[in-house]
């Protein structure tokens, strides 16, 4: 089973900062030796073109995800990015992050449409849930359990609690891989790696530094 490490850069990094990150990151980690590991960078939309060209030009085994996608197809939707446009640069997309729900009023109905659009264009979907009761449209490729109390707070969820939430999700959504996100750091990463059924980690703050993101990946043997 591939382990996924997803860097959610949120609304951070200019082009030069992204380039510096990738250069430092590939120096810090021997990507060629990590055959069971998938690393997915999720930069802001402004960097998707640059990051994908940089990865291709340097033949790096890194993958790209978007942090959001339009619930509509291409067309007259000012300010939106349709799945077809996103798919030109990305294989993956994060949908339903709690920051989208809280700051932009995104609800289940809207998020379900986003998943539909993403899947229709062949994007792999990473759907965020805030607890075991969050509705998930079927099917999605991955479900990321991200309790809002753990996001950006330095207080990750208790590994036992994560295991319990995974048990619930496994019963309801057997076809999806399970991820955890919320204050994952190089210091605490090993507390999550032994949780039954965990397929990977979604990392926010600690993915902004190449050194700390590389340490997180190296720590999961």
Candidates 23-31, 48-56, 64-72, 198-206; binding stretch for ligand PGA (CB under 6 A): 198-206
Catalytic member of 99, 106, 121, 146: 146
Alpha-carbon torsion angle 203, 206, 208, 209, nearest 10: -140
Q: Judged by CB, which is closer to ligand PGA: 33, or 103?
A: 103
CA 47 to chain centre: 16
Strand (E) positions, 91-173? Answer: 92-95, 124-129, 142-145
Residues of span 167-196 touching ligand PGA by CB under 6 A: 181-184
**Can you spell out the DSSP letters for 30-72?**
-GGG-TTEEEEEE--GGGHHHHHHHHHHTT---EEEES---SS
Quick one: which of 41, 202, 216, 217 contacts ligand PGA (CB under 6 A)? 202
Beta strands in 102-181 (DSSP E): 124-129, 142-145, 177-181
Whether 97 is catalytic is yes
Shortest approach of ligand PGA to residue 210 CB, angstroms? 15
Binding mask 129-168 for ligand PGA (x = CB under 6 A): -----------------x----xx----------------
Query: Closest residue to ligand PGA, Cβ-based?
Result: 204
**Per-residue tokens: 158:** 């208790």
Q: Is 10 or 87 the residue whose CB approaches ligand PGA more closely?
A: 10
Shortest separation between residue 198's beta carbon and ligand PGA, angstroms? 15
Q: Which long-range contacts (CB under 8 A, 24 or more apart) does 33-38 make?
A: 34/61, 34/217, 36/1, 36/2, 36/3, 37/2, 37/3, 37/5, 37/217, 38/2, 38/3, 38/4, 38/5, 38/63, 38/200
How many residues bind ligand PGA (CB under 6 A)? The answer is 13
CB of 165 to ligand PGA, least distance (A): 16
187 catalytic residue (yes or no):
no
Query: Which region among 43-51, 66-74, 161-169, 203-211 touches ligand PGA (by CB under 6 A)?
Result: 203-211
* Cα 209 from Cα 39, distance rounded (Å): 14
| Smallest separation, CB 142 to ligand PGA (Å) | 13
Which residues are tagged catalytic? 97, 146
Q: Could you list the residues that contact ligand PGA (CB under 6 A)? A: 8, 146, 151-152, 181-184, 202-206
């Amino acid at each position: 089973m591939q382990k996924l490490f997803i860097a959610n850069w949120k609304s951070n990094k200019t082009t030069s900062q992204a380039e510096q990150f990738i250069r430092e990151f590939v120096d810090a980690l021997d990507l060629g030796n990590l055959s069971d590991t998938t690393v997915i960078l999720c930069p802001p939309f402004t960097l998707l073109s640059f990051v994908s060209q940089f990865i291709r030009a340097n033949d790096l085994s890194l993958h790209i995800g978007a942090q959001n996608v339009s619930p509509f197809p291409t067309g007259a939707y000012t300010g939106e990015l349709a799945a077809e446009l996103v798919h030109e640069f990305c294989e993956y997309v994060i949908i339903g992050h709690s920051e989208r729900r809280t700051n932009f009023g995104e609800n289940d109905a809207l998020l379900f449409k986003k998943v539909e659009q993403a899947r229709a264009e062949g994007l792999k979907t990473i759907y965020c849930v805030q607890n075991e009761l969050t509705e998930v449209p079927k099917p999605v490729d991955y479900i990321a359990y991200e309790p809002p109390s753990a996001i950006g707070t330095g207080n990750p969820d208790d590994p036992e609690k994560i295991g319990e939430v995974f048990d619930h999700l496994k019963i309801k959504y057997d076809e999806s891989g399970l991820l955890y996100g919320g204050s994952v750091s190089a210091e605490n990463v090993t507390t999550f790696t032994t949780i039954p059924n965990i397929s990977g980690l979604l990392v926010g703050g600690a993915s902004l530094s190449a050194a700390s993101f590389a340490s997180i990946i190296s720590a999961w043997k």
